[in-house]
Amino acid sequence: MSSRVHACEHTVGVAAPAGVVYGMLADAVRWPVFLPSVVHVERLDFDGVQERLRMWELADDTAAAADAADDDTAAAAADAADDDTDAAADGADGAGAGAGGGVGGVLGGRVGSWHARRVLHPDVRAVVFEQEDAVWPGSVTSGVWSVRPAGEAECVLGLRQECGLPVAAADGARREAEAEADVHRRLAQVRRAAGWWERLDELLLSFEDRVRIEGPAELVYDFLYRIGEWPGRVPHVERAGVREDVPGIQVVSLDSCAAPGGRTVSTRAVRLCFPHAGRIVYKETRTSELIAAHSGEWSLLPDAFGVTVVAAHQVMLRQEAVGRVLGAGTGLLEARDHVRAWLSRASTETLGLAKWHAESTVRRLR
């Protein structure tokens, strides 16, 4: 079927310096924390100016998918409806095209993955992108982000996207409207993230926990991969719903009591599993009240005598929830310590049980 190129371009004012906004666009590896719809970004090649990326992004009903794996479908349906107003629904914005490249393929209708090439132009604050693997009409094929100063602490953010549409498509007007809406959604996501620029150093935290295991990496990975079995293995996990329509892409809903005071916290996440690399990357699509964004990775570093397992976290705090959750007068520094201790306690407990699982299995086989 013949196709035509449809181009759409829009701009939006942003309450942040142009350099801050450009830096956010250029640093695609950190997009999972800044942009709700982005699950994970792998930088495959970079020479300082040109880069090749592989990106994963949320699509349509990802936020509700894990609940479909549970038996309590009535409660799940209500939660899914509520998510239209929270960060989980925000994460589904723009599933029809790529933030800097477009969706090359939607896996299981929930997570899109594609490759993109980008050229960074810091002198004019522009990022030019081109998608390598468009697979259907309507996919974004190329475009450019641009940032223009509009004062010391303001700028104008622009996005132009080009996509291929069938020439004789009966729903051509609808497709064009969706393409226009996608540009607006992406601009809104960046504008919202950039609006926090004055407090980003306080709102963002990255940390990791690690444990040394004298056992095979395969057993450790298997424990971490089988998250659906954690309620019977990991004390702080009360319930886990897992859906894996496509091998290696898990949509998970989790109830855990690792938070201080033992209260139950419900989260949802997308997990990308790479068994040959010994990695499981995840992005929460529904976070706890104190957390605006949370992504992380379980990674295995094997050697001749065992394996070191690392649990890495990247978190953005939700500033407006700090006083409500931790009490009036609580500062961001205290909130950072609180969240780090809570997440670290949960990951350390999980790592310890993975260690016990691998090492005790080896002892039984000796």
pLDDT 10s digits, 80-124 = 333 432 333 333 333 333 333 332 333 444 788 889 999 999 999
pLDDT value, residue 108? 41
Residue 195 in this model has a pLDDT that exceeds 50:
yes
- Kindly tell me the burial class for residue 215, based on how many C-beta atoms sit within 10 Å of its own C-beta (0-12, 13-18, 19 or more): buried
Residue-wise pLDDT tens digits, 263-289: 899 999 999 999 999 999 999 999 999
CA distance 318 to 36: 13
Cβ proximity of 322 and 330 under 8 Å: yes
Looking at per-residue confidence, does 182 or 307 come out higher? Answer: 307
Angle at which helices 332-365 and 217-225 cross, to 10°: 130
In this prediction, residue 22 carries a pLDDT of: 98
Backbone phi, then psi, for 84, in 5-degree steps? -60, -20
**DSSP letters for 293-338:** EEEEEEEEEEETTEEEEEEEEEEEE-GGGHHHHH-TT--HHHHHHH
Listed residue (156, 160, 140, 139) closest to 148, CA to CA:
156
Question: Which is it for strands 140-149 and 155-166: parallel, antiparallel or unpaired?
Answer: antiparallel
Task: Kindly list the structural domains of the chain, giving each domain's residue range(s) and its CATH number in brackets, ordered by start.
Answer: 3-60+95-195 (3.30.530.20), 204-365 (3.30.530.20)
Query: Per-residue pLDDT tens for 111-169?
Result: 888 899 999 999 999 999 998 875 444 566 789 999 999 999 999 999 999 987 766 65
Residue 85 is predicted with a pLDDT of 29
Per-residue pLDDT at 364: 60
pLDDT at 12: 98
Determine the pLDDT at residue 164.
75
CA distance 67 to 234: 20
Please report where in the chains the tokens 């729903």 appear, as a residue: 171
Overall size of the chain counted in residues:
366
What average pLDDT does the chain have?
Answer: 84
Contact 353, 314 (CB under 8 A): no
**Residue 295 CB coordination number (10 Å):** 24
d(CA 251, CA 107): 12
> 340: which residues sit within 8 A by CB, 6+ positions away?
205, 207, 315
Taking residues 351-358, report their average pLDDT.
95
Q: What is the pLDDT of residue 84?
A: 34
pLDDT at 6: 82
**What element of type H or E holds 189?**
helix 172-194
Band (pLDDT 50/70/90 cuts) for residue 176 is confident
Q: Output the CA–CA distances (angstroms, integers) from residue 125 to 23, 53, 158, 249, in the order listed.
A: 9, 19, 11, 35
Confidence class of residue 194 from pLDDT cuts 50, 70 and 90?
A: very high
Query: How confident is residue 73, by pLDDT bands cut at 50, 70 and 90?
Result: very low
Confidence of residue 365 (pLDDT cuts 50, 70, 90): low
Q: Quick one: pLDDT at residue 89?
A: 30
Q: Which amino acid is at 310?
A: V
What is the residue type of 271? R
Sign of the alpha-carbon dihedral angle for 165, 167, 171, 176: positive
In this structure, what DSSP letter does residue 90 have? H
What pLDDT sits at residue 156?
98
Encode 124-155: b = buried (16+ Cβ within 10 Å), e = exposed. ebbbbbbbeebeebbbbbbbbbbbeeeeeeeb
Helices (H) and strands (E) in the chain, counts: 10, 15
Map tokens 């997570």 to a residue.
111
